Amino acid sequence: MTNKNRIILIILVSASIIIFGYTLFNREEVGENKTENNIYISKVIEDECTEEYEEIQSATTVVSKEKKLSANAILILKKYYKKCEHTINEYVELPQELVNMTEEETQAEYPDWEVIGFETGKLILYKEFEDVCGEHFKLKVEDDKVVIYIVNNDGTESIYEKTNISSEYLTETDLINMQDGLEIYGKEELNQIIEDFE
């Protein structure tokens, strides 16, 4: 190898080492700046996200306070009758005009009733009445047939239904109970007793 080739080789190796060292040093410096930038950018994004999150939370809180009735909500009329001290729950289809109303709007629509339950899927209205509930019955035997009477507000009785149930199929206990009228509360209980008699 000639001197000229050695010098060229030394220059090339030296230049390669210098270029490699410069590139390596420059990469570390760029990497440090990049990390700093990432931290700075991350902080800015986190702050912006936090502000947006807080705005969304406050908007959601306002929306959650404004519950509205859905179209398939259930309406329960809770009626308390003072004379007999019974409460009757009446399940009714929600009137169309109540759909999308808030609790305050519903209360304004029904000033004689008290809103005691309000959810998007259920509305409960409460009202007190001075009457009896209309669910008080008496069973009596007349002309060898079972007759159902309903008890009115003033305590009088009106015929509710004359059945075809013959008294000859009743037990002695049932007949004794019906002499003064067998008192029954509720249509469900009435239907059950009539089924038992048939």
pLDDT in the model for residue 48: 54
Q: Residues 6, 61: one domain?
A: yes
Q: Residues 151, 192: one domain?
A: yes
pLDDT at 129 over 60: yes
At position 121, the amino acid (one-letter code) is: G
Instruction: Find the domain containing 86 and state its range.
Output: 74-129
Number of structural domains, the chain?
3
Q: Residues 49, 9: one domain?
A: yes
CATH of the domain at 187: 3.30.70
Per-residue confidence at 59, pLDDT binned at 50, 70, 90?
low
What would the pLDDT profile of 174-190 be if each residue is shown by its tens digit? Answer: 888 888 888 888 888 88
Which residue would you say has higher pLDDT here, 38 or 75?
A: 75
Q: Residues 142, 117: one domain?
A: no
CA 30 to chain centre: 57
CATH of the domain at 99: 3.10.20.420
pLDDT in the model for residue 36: 43
What would the pLDDT profile of 131-162 be if each residue is shown by its tens digit? Answer: 888 889 998 988 888 899 998 888 888 999 99
pLDDT in the model for residue 10: 80
Per-chain mean pLDDT for the chain: 79
pLDDT at 60 over 60: no
Which residue would you say has higher pLDDT here, 53 or 137?
A: 137
At position 82, the amino acid (one-letter code) is: K
CA distances for 169 relative to 29, 160, 165, 191, angstroms = 106, 21, 8, 17
Which residue would you say has higher pLDDT here, 32 or 124?
A: 124
pLDDT, average across residues 98-122: 92
Q: Residues 58, 6: one domain?
A: yes
Q: In the sheet where 122-129 sits, what is the strand order?
A: 86-93, 74-81, 122-129, 114-119
pLDDT in the model for residue 186: 86
Q: Residues 87, 59: one domain?
A: no
Q: Residues 58, 2: one domain?
A: yes
DSSP run (H or E) holding 150: strand 145-151
Q: Residues 5, 52: one domain?
A: yes
Q: Residues 125, 143: one domain?
A: no
Closest of 44, 35, 131, 122 to residue 88, by C-alpha: 131
Q: Residues 82, 52: one domain?
A: no
Q: Residues 143, 123: one domain?
A: no
pLDDT in the model for residue 23: 67
Share of the chain above pLDDT 90, in %: 27
